[in-house]
Structure 1
Amino acid sequence: MTYTYTTRIYYQDTDAGGIVYHANYLAIAERARTEALREMGAPHAEMVAQFGVMFVVHRVKLHYQRPAKIDEVIRVETDFTGLGGASVTLCQKFMRGADSLAVLEVGLGCARVSDGRATRIPRAWVARLKI
């Protein structure tokens, strides 16, 4: 299932030329992942409160294809592509209309809040991820 997050590009997202600064793609992708998890019934805050664990980014591969510019409306399409005992993989595509702007391959690890160590994803959460 694809989860879609739509946003506008603001001045704070861009460099001096009005193009999205490369690192800001990661911040936008984080918001899109957070909303996708919320839509799946698996919000971060609830995961922390109920199980004392959280997802952390442990790997990201980002391929820039076309620039996003100030005041444009873009969407991020998030697809969860894999589920392991302690990890989730996903693909996030930045789109402007039919144009692909960037593609991220992201690996999330499940970690304990108390010490940051890797741990298995709680069973109740696995069912919510619907991968």
Structure 2
Amino acid sequence: MTEPAGRIRTRIYHEDTDAGGIVYHTAYLRFAERGRTELLRSLGHDHHGLRFREGGGFVVRSMVIDYAAAARLDDEVEIETEVADVKGASLVMRQKVMHDGRTLVSMDVRLAFIGAGGRAMRLPAAIRETFNRYPGEGI
């Protein structure tokens, strides 16, 4: 079964957990990064293309994270990603890590678009158009 653009699944492995088999808090950041990357890729904006066609890329500017419950070794989790807000040089992606329909972790991630010199630059028109096509629909 193919997942919608803003949804991926992954299994919890030993590398994701502490000695007790509970997912270590920083592992959720990796899961979220994968979710954001796959959403962008599914919409035609892979990192390589952004860098070479648009002259820049996204970096995390800020995050607000709520850890409600823990995933455990061998669980299968689902990462849901949607674009919540689009500004001139940044956007906010809202993400959830879920297991069996229960939200374990939720986060809002503000991404800035920066050029090769590390300075903020306006979001390319192609990216803005893509995200404006899906307002509030949880891409």
Structure 1 gap segments, 5+ residues each: none
Alignment root-mean-square deviation, CA:
1.3
Alignment partner for residue 103 of structure 1, among 106, 109, 124? 106
What TM-score results when the alignment is normalised by the length of structure 1? Answer: 0.94
Q: Which residue of 1 aligns with 2:38?
A: 35
**Which amino acid counterpart does residue 120 of structure 1 have in structure 2?**
R
* Range that drifts further, 46-55 or 119-128: 119-128
Aligned residues: 130
2:128 is the alignment partner of 1:126: yes
Alignment of 1:6-17 (within 5 A): 6-17=9-20
Q: Which residue of 1 aligns with 2:55?
A: 52
Structure 2 gap segments, 5+ residues each: none
Greater than 2 Å deviation, 4+ residue runs: 128-131
1:79-124 deviation digits (Å, cap 9, x = unpaired): 10110110010110111012110001100000012x1110101112
Specify the SS of the correspondent of 1:33: helix
What TM-score results when the alignment is normalised by the length of structure 2? Answer: 0.89
Percent sequence identity over aligned pairs: 38
Specify the SS of the correspondent of 1:119: coil
